[in-house]
Amino acid sequence: MKKTGGLFSSQPKPFLDTKPLKPFLVNDQPDHNFASLKLMPETQLVMLVPRPAWQNLAEYIPAYEAVELAGRFGASPGDYEWEWIKDPESVRWWRRATNGFEHLWGMAIAIPVSAGVELYGLVEIDEKSPFWTEVIPEEAALGLPVQAKNMARDGKRSEVAILVELYRDYMKQRGLLTQLQPGRPACRRGSIREVELFRDAIKALFKRAASPPQGDSNQR
């Protein structure tokens, strides 16, 4: 019987594409010169927003959409998902899963310029998040659990532990990992689709902040 190799052997599984992904930048204002890009090479998203709109978030988010305003058992996806950071001025998007609990998804830091406020953002997701595997193509997502089950038959390691390792290896091979340290959850960068989702979420946030609900705060 011919012996087959591991996940990343010289003859990988047909469903597994391990070519490193090319870096990209989602630029919402291509005619503007984002001068700080060279200082933040990890940036995946750049936006230029009016200064008053950005400053408005400092009051709007804590009053209406701060992540800590959610109840003990979380909230519905889309509710109470934002965090305002004072120093340096920035926002974080804690995207909610269907179970109501939040998971850090993206962050954007602000740089004031004469034309307004530049936003430099990125999507970073850790392996504890239910969104961790969304970047894996369907064929690989279906094949890796099967491979983990087969590898666990010798009883030396659990199927779950093997699958975690396979996911990490896949992310590493594709150049997606941003953090891989012993004892800490691995983190990966977002795909173009995920970064575009972050951009759209920021735009929707600005739109809501421009017309906050009437009456008491802390209400959506």
Say if residues 119 and 108 touch (Cβ distance below 8 Å).
yes
Among 185, 202, 190, 206, residue whose Cα is nearest residue 43 = 190
For 47, phi and psi rounded to 5 degrees?
-140, 155
Encode the chain (220 residues) as per-residue pLDDT tens digits: 444 444 444 334 445 667 888 889 999 999 999 999 999 999 999 999 999 999 999 999 999 999 999 988 899 999 999 999 999 999 999 999 999 999 999 999 999 999 999 999 999 999 999 999 888 877 778 888 999 999 999 888 999 999 999 989 988 888 899 988 888 899 999 999 999 999 999 999 999 999 998 765 555 5
pLDDT confidence of residue 14: 42
Q: How far apart are CA 122 and CA 185, in angstroms?
A: 18
Structure tokens at 190: 């977002």
Q: How far apart are CA 131 and CA 150, in angstroms?
A: 25
Q: How far apart are the first and last CA of the chain?
A: 63
Q: How far apart are CA 75 and CA 211, in angstroms?
A: 22
Residue whose structure tokens are 């933040």: 40
Residue 142, SS3 per DSSP: helix
3-state secondary structure 6-54: CCCCCCCCCCCCCCCCCCCCEECCCCCCCHHHHHCCCCCEEEEECHHHH
pLDDT confidence of residue 1: 42
Residue whose structure tokens are 């290896």: 169
Q: How far apart are CA 62 and CA 152, in angstroms?
A: 47
**Predicted TM-score of the model (pTM):** 0.85
